[in-house]
Homo-oligomer: A and B are copies of this chain.
């Protein structure tokens, strides 16, 4: 597998990208990483990190999209930026997939500009994997589509289900629709119409209906479907609540312990590591023709390495072909 890495992307620049590449190459014997970025900055880093030279390629790109830059402007002003070069490599067929910890909006915009949607897809969405009391679940969309139509959400259910089945090995993933109450008829027009679409779709026997905010982490369903506005708030809120509570646990539970303080602090660090976003590594952009894994801006070495591994696995398992095959089973979309 050949995966392009936006080596300039992310809050910390090239360092975690290069370190993550080394880790990913160790873990994935069939992987070649195509690092896209500024050779003057990447070459010394690659040398000092001892990345095996025959497992990588370097593609020059001197422009970088900044984290706060508006995607539409970036695509106009910096067509040669590292993230857009990654998409071009994919379009040319010289890589199988790409990974970026850069500006999420620019990653999505680059994909929409250079790639077609997968057959039967009306709008791509970003999926994320979250820990639950029962294991893991897939939540989508988390920000690609902030004002979707019911049909988009139905397709997210299909795409999230395929991802959960093949990438997370959940044999028969159940689906839930994020809402403000469990009962049918709850919420605004979008969720009411989407509920009805799911109920009458080929997914109906895996659709468990509406779920509430507190159900996600209880592991009530394997795939949580929501609009990109709500999903983005959910994703970032989880990060904030986790940070807040673990801070309180450290100062109010662990710090005062007379004997076991160090032991408890170590266990807390392990717990943070286990549920940190870096444990899965990235969020797949589903519905675009091509494999694209979007990483958190503050990704560390482990997150980049895991994202490269996820991208390679996604290619190996031909997730996109499986998505198209399932979407073809849906009845044709009607205007809503």
Contact = CB atoms under 8 A, between A and B. Distances in A.
Nearest to A180: B232
Contacts of A243: 214, 217-218
A296 to B, nearest CB: 11
Interface stretch (A29-37, A42-50, A159-167, A259-267): A259-267
A76 interface: no
B267 A240 contact: no
Interface stretch (A12-20, A79-87, A246-254): A246-254
Contacts of A236: 212-214
Interface string A210-224: 001111111000000
Given A189-B147, A239-B214, A267-B253, A180 B229 contact: yes
Contacts of A180: 143, 146, 228-229, 232-233
22 contacts: A70-B183, A70-B185, A105-B181, A131-B244, A146-B187, A147-B188, A212-B232, A213-B237, A213-B239, A214-B236, A214-B240, A217-B240, A230-B230, A234-B237, A238-B241, A245-B275, A248-B275, A252-B271, A253-B271, A256-B267, A257-B263, A259-B260
Contact of A213 (B188, B238, B267): B238
Contacts of A263: 256-258
Contacts of A267: 252-253, 256
Given A252-B267, A253-B254, A264-B253, A244 B133 contact: yes
A109 interface: no
A241 B188 CA distance: 24
Nearest to A105: B181
Nearest to A237: B213
A245 B247 contact: no
A201 interface: no
Q: For A132, A246, A248, A259, which residue has the most chain B Cβ atoms within 10 angstroms?
A: A248
A91 interface: no
Copies of chain A in the complex: 2
A68 interface: yes
B188 A244 contact: no
A268 interface: yes
Contacts of A70: 183, 185
A191 B146 CA distance: 11
A253 B233 contact: no
Contact of A132 (B133, B234, B244, B275): B244
A288 B187 CA distance: 21
A183 B68 contact: yes
A28 interface: no
Contacts of A226: 233
Nearest to A261: B260
Contacts of A252: 267, 270-271
A3 interface: no
A258 B267 CA distance: 13
B247 A133 contact: yes
Contacts of A247: 133
A8 to B, nearest CB: 21
Q: For A191, A233, A239, A264, which residue has the most chain B Cβ atoms within 10 angstroms?
A: A233
A146 B180 CA distance: 9
